[in-house]
Structure 1
Amino acid sequence: MSSLSFMSSLENILYFQAGLGVLANMFLLVFYVFIILGRRPKPMDVISCQLTFVHIMMFLAGENFWLADIFESLNVENDIKCKATFYTKRVMRGLSICITCLLSVFQTVMISHRNSFLAKFKHKLKKYMINALFYIWSFNLSFSSNLIFYVSGFTNMSQTNQLKVTKSCSLLPMNYIIRGLILTVQTSRDMFLVGVMLTTSTYMVIILHRHQRQYKHLHSISHLKASPEKRATQTILLLVAFFVVMYWVDFIISSNSILLWMYDPVIMIVQKVVVNAYPTITPLVQISSDKRIISVVKTGILSATRFFLKT
């Protein structure tokens, strides 16, 4: 297989992944909006709604996708387009890891034992959730602005001191100290959040194991499997585990590119596939594990079937 054919195959995978991710997240977003507006929502529904919106924006900010087409139609200068799309992707990537961490923390509080330290936060969960989301958005909107000044749309590929990050955008030369400082600060933030997710995930696994062992003689196994609380916890554990794996793969690829100041179109497309894997899988896992969504889908299918049979 030639290099051009291989690149074309990777790009087709990327487009298919983006299309699937946008459709799944849009469906989930509509569902959460109806839940939030229709009745008193659970705190986890509001957090999941935020995460879904963030993932939609991650896809729309991707190169050669809708946001880029909008800028093109408005005749926006390439330099402004590059800064805007790069900033949006950086903010949404930071929000994705922060909100996923928040989801893990709040689920840990939800299932904690009533005599534990975390139990006292349960009755104020909604208040803490709103405050946490506000600070997360504020932090990422400011934190992710550090590289805007180094992104430019005026790329001269004859200059080897520029790092091409997309087909029309590049990172301008920066001091080794500044480059290392930015990478260190970003890595420290991400390592802290990943550490929190791993800690809360371990705690949730311990709680689930204790509950299953303690109440095994009181409940049937089928009842334990059908527990909404347990099912929600297992879903979040699965999402956190998948996020951590994809994060490390992305971290290794992006760190090598920045430290070596090297551009490889194949590696860049592979990195995009890795980055988009989590926002693509997340809505599919949530849809398949939420009985409310499954019930809505079944009702919709039955209604559509009856309608077509009548006509």
Structure 2
Amino acid sequence: MEFEVRLIFKAIGFIILIIIGVPSNVFILAIFIHTKITEKKLLPSNAILTMLALVNLLVIITKGIPQAIHSIGIRNILNDTECKLFSFMYRICRGMTICVTSLLSCNQCVILAPPSKSWLILKQKISPNLPWIMLCLWSINIAIYPSCLIHVRAIGNYTTSKYTLHLEFCNHDFMTFQSYVANGIAIALRDFSFVGSMTLASCYIVFTLHRHGKQVQGMRSSDKNPGKSVEYKASRAVVLLVTIYVALFGLDSCIWIYTLIVSRVSPAISDARVFFGTLYAALSPVVIIKTNKKIKTTLICNNKKEQIHSTDTTTTDSSE
């Protein structure tokens, strides 16, 4: 009975995650790709958000969907090749969510920074070199996970070493203690480096926003200044995204540490860790849609076009 209840909650959780995450990420991709095609340009921050939506979507496809299918009772859904590809893609894209969120916060930090010589160099370098920065982030994450293409196999009747991660539909056997430790160190260095950089950048953004708030006290409200309003609203949105990520990352890390300490871990604990590890892919696009100026402007314009079209249709019908 307890086993069935766990699977019911797991299925509900991942299905909700898929229902929210897939359409919202696809919507963001569609808006920004359309903007790039029609306007021939995309702000660096929106280009970064486009990449974040893409990797979020791939995280849900490679982890959320298989977990949902497994939780409703369908077993052996992936063969060896599919296990390798899904595991490889999921781990790379989940790593990219860390890197891209960190890049987003650092970019916003540079935007808010004073126009000094050193900051000015960064302001001028980020935009033209953004494709190379993205390529570098992809390369870093691809370099960490070659073992997924070699040692990941579908669940089956075969012997595994004690250095094996037993996933619900795949096994990742590192074979040796050295490869197991090396992989863990590489992941830890990447995670804490990028989470640390996004945290520091967000602290600087919060400090800048707080200082600006003090400066405008007794003066005209900053909301009446469109330039400042847009800039600082974007900054608050970035801080919110980073806060969500750091909170989920901290929760994931706490559960992971708990699994290392306890000899036998409840399946519900493992399910919770996988769920929280994937949750950012569904929450972040909702925040982006609610706070991004370009998306909101596009939605308003489309609504106005629909209203005009509806009015024209009504007028034509009346004249007939």
TM-score normalised to structure 2 length:
0.83
Which of 299, 302, 307 is the equivalent residue of 1:300? Answer: 302
In structure 1, what is the equivalent of residue 3 of structure 2?
A: 3
**Deviation, structure 1 residue 261:** 8.2
Does the CA contact (< 8 Å) of 1:163 and 1:262 recur in 2? no
Structure 1: 5+ residue runs without aligned partners?
Answer: 70-75
Secondary structure at the aligned position of 1:127 is classed as coil
Structure 1 segment 95-114 matched on structure 2, within 5 A: 95-114=96-115
CA distance in structure 2 between the partners assigned to 1:41 and 1:185 by the alignment: 33
Structure 1 segment 1-311 matched on structure 2, within 5 A: 2-39=2-39, 40-62=41-63, 64-65=65-66, 78-115=79-116, 117-156=118-157, 161=162, 162-166=164-168, 168-172=169-173, 174-223=175-224, 227-254=229-256, 256-257=258-259, 264-304=266-306, 307=310, 310=314
CA distance in structure 1 between the partners assigned to 2:174 and 2:230 by the alignment: 52
* CA-to-aligned-CA distance 1:171-226 (integer Å, 9 cap, x gap): 22633343233212211111111111111111111111222222334431533697
CA distance in structure 2 between the partners assigned to 1:205 and 1:121 by the alignment: 20
* CA-to-aligned-CA distance 1:75-101 (integer Å, 9 cap, x gap): x97111111100000110111101111
CA distance in structure 2 between the partners assigned to 1:133 and 1:154 by the alignment: 34
CA distance in structure 1 between the partners assigned to 2:87 and 2:271 by the alignment: 16
Letter in 2 for 1:87: F
CA distance in structure 2 between the partners assigned to 1:49 and 1:120 by the alignment: 24
**Deviation, structure 1 residue 136:** 0.8
CA distance in structure 1 between the partners assigned to 2:238 and 2:96 by the alignment: 17
CA distance in structure 2 between the partners assigned to 1:108 and 1:238 by the alignment: 14
**Deviation, structure 1 residue 250:** 1.7
**Deviation, structure 1 residue 61:** 0.9
CA distance in structure 2 between the partners assigned to 1:187 and 1:260 by the alignment: 20
Does the CA contact (< 8 Å) of 1:11 and 1:269 recur in 2? no
**Residues 147, 263 of structure 1: alpha-carbon distance in 2 compared, 3 angstrom cutoff:** farther
Does the CA contact (< 8 Å) of 1:163 and 1:263 recur in 2? no
**Deviation, structure 1 residue 16:** 1.3
TM-score normalised to structure 1 length:
0.86
Paired-residue identity, % = 22
Letter in 2 for 1:94: G
**Residues 268, 224 of structure 1: alpha-carbon distance in 2 compared, 3 angstrom cutoff:** farther
Does the CA contact (< 8 Å) of 2:64 and 2:278 recur in 1? no
Letter in 2 for 1:9: F
**Deviation, structure 1 residue 8:** 0.9
Structure 2: 5+ residue runs without aligned partners?
Answer: 71-76
Does the CA contact (< 8 Å) of 1:51 and 1:96 recur in 2? yes
CA distance in structure 1 between the partners assigned to 2:27 and 2:152 by the alignment: 34
**Deviation, structure 1 residue 104:** 0.8
Q: CA RMSD in A?
A: 3.1
* CA-to-aligned-CA distance 1:240-285 (integer Å, 9 cap, x gap): 1110111122223345557878675323321232022211111111
In structure 1, what is the equivalent of residue 74 of structure 2?
A: none
Secondary structure at the aligned position of 1:62 is classed as helix
* CA-to-aligned-CA distance 1:20-54 (integer Å, 9 cap, x gap): 10110011110111122222221111111111111
Secondary structure at the aligned position of 2:231 is classed as helix
CA distance in structure 1 between the partners assigned to 2:90 and 2:165 by the alignment: 17
